[in-house]
Amino acid sequence: MEALKQRIIKDGIIKEGNVLKVDSFLNHQLDINLFEKMGEEFKKRFEGQEINKILTIEASGIAIACIVARHFNVPVVFAKKSKTKNIAGEVYTSKVESFTHGRVYDIIVSKDFLNPEDKVLIIDDFLANGQALIGLSNLVKDAGATLVGAGIAIEKGFQKGGDLLREQGVRVESLAIIDEMDVEKGIKFR
Ligand code: 5GP
């Protein structure tokens, strides 16, 4: 998606450790008009697919997911990062290793909000090593729901997540795929 790529080039900041900061439009301050265009694009890419629920993960995924969900006219469920023990029974849970924070945490979704009848589109801001996406798809699997696909704003194509998920048969649609990212040479898109 050209508008997103241009914005990444204009305002994205490359940090140590393969991290791209997009705080001025995607992760902290939010450019709602850009989100609107992203919603339109995901709607186009998943045209004809039956989707009745959007699933994302707190915190950065929520804002994007909400605007995307307006285009599909479906509810959003977000997985919570949980510190609570002893929650088995009422929730689906999975472990995720955080790319940006380097630690493992549990993600949970109440059993009330994911059902075997659900046709789920996962939305997230970034795809790096794929841990967040794998964790979310495990929740979908545990609920007996159907995973229609995943819509990602920015995929870092030089990390393994995209290939891993696609090899597993997940339809991953990314609006901007970065193949190279270097403080001196800048950003190269696929
Ligand atoms: P993964 O689980 O695919 O390794 O990483 C995805 C998650 O880590 C995303 O939900 C996102 O919050 C965070 N993340 C991964 N790479 C980046 C990055 O380069 N910049 C930012 N801002 N977040 C990232």
pLDDT (tens digit per residue) in 165-189: 999 999 999 999 999 999 989 999 9
Q: Tally helices (H) and strands (E) across the chain.
A: 5, 10
Task: Look up the CATH number of domain 2-189.
Answer: 3.40.50.2020
Nearest alpha carbon, ligand 1 atom 9: 126
pTM: 0.96
What's the 53 CA to ligand 1 centre distance in angstroms?
22
Collapsing DSSP to helix, strand or coil, 162 comes out as helix
In whole angstroms, what is the distance from residue 116 CA to residue 140 CA? 9
Question: Which two three-digit tokens encode residue 190?
Answer: 């696929």
CB 134 less than 6 A from any atom of ligand 1: no
Q: Which residues of the chain have pLDDT under 70?
A: 83-88
Q: Quick count: other Cβ atoms within 10 Å of Cβ 126?
A: 24
Q: Quick count: other Cβ atoms within 10 Å of Cβ 144?
A: 11
What's the 125 CA to ligand 1 centre distance in angstroms?
7
CA distances from 92 to 82, 127, 138, 164 (A): 11, 22, 9, 23
Q: Residue 88's pLDDT is what?
A: 62
**Rg from Cα positions in the chain:** 16
- Which residues on neighbouring strands pair with residue 189, listed in sequence order? 178
CB 126 less than 6 A from any atom of ligand 1: yes
Nearest alpha carbon, ligand 1 atom 16: 128
